[in-house]
Structure 1
Amino acid sequence: MDDITSAAAEPDRLRLLRVLGPSHVWALGVGIVLVGEYMGWNFSVGKGGMIAGLMACWVAGLLYTCVAMIDSEVTSTVAAAGGQYAQAKHIVGPLMAFNVGLFLVMAYTMLEAANAITVGFLLDTVAGMQGQAGLNQQPFIVLAIMFLAWLNYRGVLATLTFNLVITAVAFLAIVALFVSVQFGASAVPLDFSAITTDPLPYGWVGIVASLHFGLWYYLGMEGTCQAAEEVRSPARSLPYGTMAGIMTLLVAATMTWYICSGLMPWEYLGQAGTPLFDAARVTGSTGLMILLFVGTAFATLASANGCINDASRAWFSMSRDRYLPSWFGAVHPVYRTPYRAIVFLVPIALIFALGAPLDQVVTFSILSGLLGYTFMTFNMVMFRNKWPLGKIKRGYVHPFHPLPTIVLLILCSTAYFAVFLGYGTQLSAMMCFYIIASLWFHFRRYKFVRRGDQFTMPWPKPQGY
């Protein structure tokens, strides 16, 4: 499997197809993230109460708006599969690129596992409502991951078109619940009295702690970059799809907090497995319960589907550049998908989905995402310094530089502290994992990397070189 020669790898050097438009980019970004409105975000309420949960929603929204602005500029210029990994190898260097690739693979694979866990939990909840408690969730978890991996194996256009449809349905379900409750469809009225009687049950530290799970509202939005090599017009589609996606998510996140916080006590909401579905149950409307069951199922499937797409593209890109064995860098001769990378990551997702609790899987995904966002701050500064405006053609230039970069770094630092408050052991374990992986790359794998082959952008020499 090691790359002693390149002969075996050459027949696999097929290209990915450029078949995607702005709507597919929107569907990839929102599809991965919208499940955060259906589950996981509510743990932030448990950390600090209703007000803390709302502040976490908006602060995390600001963080991801900075991420979207930075990504839109750099990725529309570095239009290659692998997203932030491709950015790192062109702008920073091999060791950083290797780590960023791992950040992406781990974040999306853990998110995929969390989605599969939620599918099983949702079906178990519905079975319990019908008097059939104790449903075996594992077969449904395995079936969901295997079906979506098969869909990704068969082609990216069908995969993301499927995501476009089910993501739109899941988003409209949130809107329908919001409108219905506002017009009196709920048997239980909205009640925000906890805001005045006990606004911050854990004090100001609860606001900081809640930011940990507030990130779950938007985690994975940066995944729009992974499709850069398969987009017809990267300079137009990537910025439009990404910025439209973050605006969609900001609206959906705020509506979600409003509905769930108004219908359920914060003590219950802070530990619920499927908060939007539970909110629909509280209304007493059978139609809304069915709609939010469908919305929850579609949101989890869309997210897992997009995660498989993104994780496999990152793994494929690293293998194609020999950061990993080149055997994984093969493109299917018929479907033009990174089929070996897709198949390889399936058992890893299954191990975590079947053997780890939801909050632990969510935390692992968040930590890997945070490390990636921290990299983006340094990457953006180096990009502007090495290739100033006017030096190379950019598809999009984000305004107010370097303000979004500074804000993103401050918010990432705060989020690390928030994670440390509740999950310090997991934070330490993840850092040790990435340090060991870096040492392996430096001493064992770097000798196979061909530095000259990985630079695919027709750029002039960097400023000062």
Structure 2
Amino acid sequence: MTIALEPAAPAVQGDRVSLLRVLGPAHVWALGVGIVLVGEFTGWNFSADKGGALAALIVCWVVGLLYTSVAMIDSEVTSTVAAGGQYAQAKHIVGPLMAFNVALFLVFAYTMLEVSDAILLGDTIVAKAGVEGLTHNSFIAATIVVLAWLNYRGVLMTLNVNFVITAIAYISIVILFFSVSPWTQGAVLKLNELVTPGNALPYGWIGVIAAFQFGIWYYLGIEGTTQAAEEVRSPARSLPYGTMAGMITLLIAAAMTWYVCASLMPWEYLGITYYPLWDAGKLTGSPLLENLLFVATLLAALASANGCINDAARAWFSLGRDRYLPTWFSAVHPKYRTPYRSILFLLPIALAFAFIADLNQAITFSILSGVLQYTFMSINIIMFRKKWPLGSIRRGYTHPFHPIPAMVLFCLCVVTFFAIFLGFGSQLIAMVAFYFLISLWFHFYRYKFVRRGDQFTMPWPKPQGY
């Protein structure tokens, strides 16, 4: 059955079924922040292991600049190409081969982030239970299967749930921050004792560069807001508002998280714990805060995994719809109006990785795919502005200071690749080799199935120079 997406969302048109346009800016915020907020509960702190507590703060703000550039660039292009997210952007601006790779970047980034979330949730429950012989496997499986079922049943319900649990997890960080008297160093917090001139940068500036690898975790996934473009009621308005509001939310959460955790834990421990905020709750001596941060860690992991399933499935669905993969994947459920076959196909893949990878490996694979995508975005926006200058087509949002954000984004991506190479060089080489080989497969085999005349769907004039 051939599935098509229409600008509106009629229930059925013969054998054509479309996704529903039911989401608003709050849902976009919930999708973006929900995917990312787990990075405040674990992951970012591994940057302290690479370079010390001060390095973790430096990369918090420098990587924040990277993601602000991502959010601005993404908001402009997506509010104009308001369907399919970064995949559709690559298809219209660069071409099919780039679009195929970008969709794979998205699928791997979100699937491995989903795996990381499930591992974190399982490990957190096991650590809280303290029962000898209890393993995390059953909790991992239950998390992935239940969330896949939720996504199968409908996007509105999925993101309504994400909004609620993301808000609770975020509020817990705010409560922790104000509960430790942050304005009075020495009462509860000991930042001046834990971060001294002698240990602030234990490995020097090379440690700061190495810390970029996990500093990405503060914000990884905010670009996922665009994957819901085909289900948003007003993409030109909702996507920029939801994405930029999400970025501001995350910058505030990242700063509060670092300040509290670095003021309660020595960098040597902060850099290795899987539960920095939960541990911070324990160190306050308040059972209420300890239990609040335990529950919030679980909710943040659930919200992130929930959003990742949503985004990965829609990227895979888009590949099937355009015949980059078999069209079987492009089916939309006739009742729930979700890309159910893509959701079900990715389910066992996520389970397999969750059982064979550890948390550090899963995080690294997700970061690698994400940074490859960000590198593309820096090139993509320059091509977009060159082919369709301001005034030639209608834009829902125009990001300022072009091309400075694109240049900053590209340079920071290069630094991050070097940081990843320092810690996980073999994984970086293996991942790049994989994408190279799969590109050859697409070019020499799969591309012949693509309907070339159906690729460009936007009502734009011919690009300049063509």
Task: Confirm or deny: 8 A CA contact 2:55 2:207 kept in the other structure.
Answer: yes
When normalised by structure 2's length, the TM-score is 0.96
User: Among 16, 29, 41, which residue is 1:38 paired with?
Assistant: 41
State the alpha-carbon separation in 1 of the partners of residues 49 and 181 from structure 2: 25
SS at match of 2:225: helix
Q: How does 1:242-253 map to 2 (within 5 A)?
A: 242-253=243-254
Q: How does 1:157-236 map to 2 (within 5 A)?
A: 157-182=156-181, 188-193=188-193, 194-236=195-237
| Change beyond 3 A, Cα 1:185–1:350 | farther
* CA shift for structure 1 position 452: 1.4
Does residue 53 of the first structure (1) align with residue 52 of the second (2)? no
Match of 2:369 in 1: 368
| Change beyond 3 A, Cα 1:149–1:269 | same
SS at match of 2:445: helix
SS at match of 2:325: coil
Q: How does 1:392-403 map to 2 (within 5 A)?
A: 392-403=393-404
| Change beyond 3 A, Cα 1:58–1:353 | same
State the alpha-carbon separation in 1 of the partners of residues 384 and 38 from structure 2: 32
Q: How does 1:302-451 map to 2 (within 5 A)?
A: 302-451=303-452
* CA shift for structure 1 position 152: 0.3
| Change beyond 3 A, Cα 1:136–1:453 | same
Task: Report the identity percentage.
Answer: 68
Structural RMSD (CA): 1.5
Task: Confirm or deny: 8 A CA contact 1:155 1:336 kept in the other structure.
Answer: yes
Match of 2:298 in 1: 297
State the alpha-carbon separation in 1 of the partners of residues 192 and 50 from structure 2: 18
| Change beyond 3 A, Cα 1:8–1:199 | closer
When normalised by structure 1's length, the TM-score is 0.96
User: Among 57, 67, 70, which residue is 1:67 paired with?
Assistant: 70
Task: Confirm or deny: 8 A CA contact 2:47 2:215 kept in the other structure.
Answer: yes
User: Among 102, 119, 134, which residue is 2:104 paired with?
Assistant: 102
* CA shift for structure 1 position 69: 0.2
Task: Confirm or deny: 8 A CA contact 2:180 2:188 kept in the other structure.
Answer: no
Q: How does 1:13-162 map to 2 (within 5 A)?
A: 13-81=16-84, 83-128=85-130, 132-162=131-161
Could you report, residue by residue, the CA deviation over 1:237-273 in whole angstroms, capped at 9, with x for unpaired residues?
Answer: 0000000000000000011011111101110110001
State the alpha-carbon separation in 1 of the partners of residues 309 and 129 from structure 2: 28
SS at match of 2:462: coil
Task: Confirm or deny: 8 A CA contact 1:42 1:270 kept in the other structure.
Answer: yes
Give the length in aligned residue pairs: 455
* CA shift for structure 1 position 13: 3.6
Task: Confirm or deny: 8 A CA contact 2:181 2:187 kept in the other structure.
Answer: no
Task: Confirm or deny: 8 A CA contact 1:42 1:271 kept in the other structure.
Answer: yes
* CA shift for structure 1 position 9: 6.3
State the alpha-carbon separation in 2 of the partners of residues 65 and 187 from structure 1: 34
Could you report, residue by residue, the CA deviation over 1:3-22 in whole angstroms, capped at 9, with x for unpaired residues?
Answer: xxxx6668764111100000
State the alpha-carbon separation in 1 of the partners of residues 177 and 208 from structure 2: 25
Could you report, residue by residue, the CA deviation over 1:109-131 in whole angstroms, capped at 9, with x for unpaired residues?
Answer: 00000000000110011012xxx
Task: Confirm or deny: 8 A CA contact 1:50 1:195 kept in the other structure.
Answer: no
SS at match of 1:397: coil
Could you report, residue by residue, the CA deviation over 1:286-343 in whole angstroms, capped at 9, with x for unpaired residues?
Answer: 1101111111011000000000000000000011000000000000000000000000
State the alpha-carbon separation in 2 of the partners of residues 12 and 69 from structure 1: 38
Unmatched tracts of structure 2, length 5 or more = 5-13
Task: Confirm or deny: 8 A CA contact 1:323 1:445 kept in the other structure.
Answer: yes
Match of 2:8 in 1: none
State the alpha-carbon separation in 1 of the partners of residues 415 and 263 from structure 2: 28
User: Aligned AA for 2:192?
Assistant: F
Match of 2:270 in 1: 269
Which segments of structure 1 move beyond 4 Å, counting only runs of 4 or more?
7-12, 183-188
